[in-house]
Chain A
Amino acid sequence: MKKHQNIKEDVRNSAMIRNLSSDAQLEQDQDTAKNIVSLLNHHAQNLNAKEISSLKLARQIAVDAHLGHAKAPAFNIAGLVGGLFDYVDHHRAAMSSGLAFGAFLIAILVLQPFNHNNTKNSDAFLLGSELPPEAYADKGFNTWLEKGF
Chain B
Amino acid sequence: MQLLLKILFRKLSTVSLLLCVTLNSLILNVANADENTLTWAQLDADQHKVLNPLAAEWDTLRPWQREKMLDIAHDYPKMDVQEQQRVQNRLSSWSRMTPYERENARKKYQQFHDLPADKKAELRKKWLEYQKLPEAQREALRKDAPGQYDDADFK
A residues contacting B by CB (< 8 A) are 72-73, 75, 79-80, 83-84, 86-87, 98, 101-102, 105, 108-109, 112, 116-118, 120-145, 147, 149
How many whole Å from A76's CB to the nearest CB in chain B? 10
Known: A109-B27, A128-B83. A117 touches B142 (CB 8 A): no
Q: What mask results when residues 117 to 151 of chain B are scored 1 for a CB within 8 Å of chain A, else 0? A: 00010011011011001000011111011010000
Select which of A87, A117, A121, A131 is within 8 A of B123 by beta carbon: A131
| B113 and A129 contact, CB distance less than 8 A | yes
Select which of B6, B76, B109, B141 is within 8 A of A143 by beta carbon: B141
| A116 and B145 contact, CB distance less than 8 A | no
| A98 and B106 contact, CB distance less than 8 A | no
Which residue of chain B has the shortest Cβ distance to A108 in the bound complex? B24
B residues contacting A by CB (< 8 A) are 1-2, 5-6, 9, 13, 17, 20-21, 24, 27-28, 68, 71-76, 78-79, 82-84, 86-87, 90-91, 93-94, 97, 101-102, 104-110, 112-113, 120, 123-124, 126-127, 129-130, 133, 138-142, 144-145, 147
Select which of B20, B68, B74, B97 is within 8 A of A116 by beta carbon: B74
Residues of chain A with a CB closer than 8 A to B109's CB: 125-126, 129, 133, 136
| A126 and B24 contact, CB distance less than 8 A | no
Which residue of chain B has the shortest Cβ distance to A112 in the bound complex? B28
CB pairs A–B below 8 angstroms (18 shown): A109-B24, A109-B27, A109-B28, A117-B71, A123-B68, A123-B102, A124-B74, A124-B78, A127-B87, A128-B83, A133-B93, A136-B106, A137-B97, A137-B104, A139-B142, A140-B140, A143-B141, A145-B126
Considering the complex of A and B, which 4 residue pairs feature the smallest CB-CB distances, nearest first? A128-B83, A140-B141, A139-B145, A124-B75
Known: A75-B1, A105-B20, A138-B142. A133 touches B97 (CB 8 A): yes
Which residue of chain A has the shortest Cβ distance to B75 in the bound complex? A124
How many whole Å from B140's CB to the nearest CB in chain A? 8
| B101 and A137 contact, CB distance less than 8 A | yes
| A126 and B106 contact, CB distance less than 8 A | yes
Which residue of chain B has the shortest Cβ distance to A72 in the bound complex? B1
CA distance A134 to B139 in the complex (A): 14
Residues of chain B with a CB closer than 8 A to A112's CB: 28
| A129 and B5 contact, CB distance less than 8 A | no
Known: A112-B28, A127-B86. A141 touches B127 (CB 8 A): yes
CA distance A135 to B116 in the complex (A): 18
How many whole Å from B17's CB to the nearest CB in chain A? 7
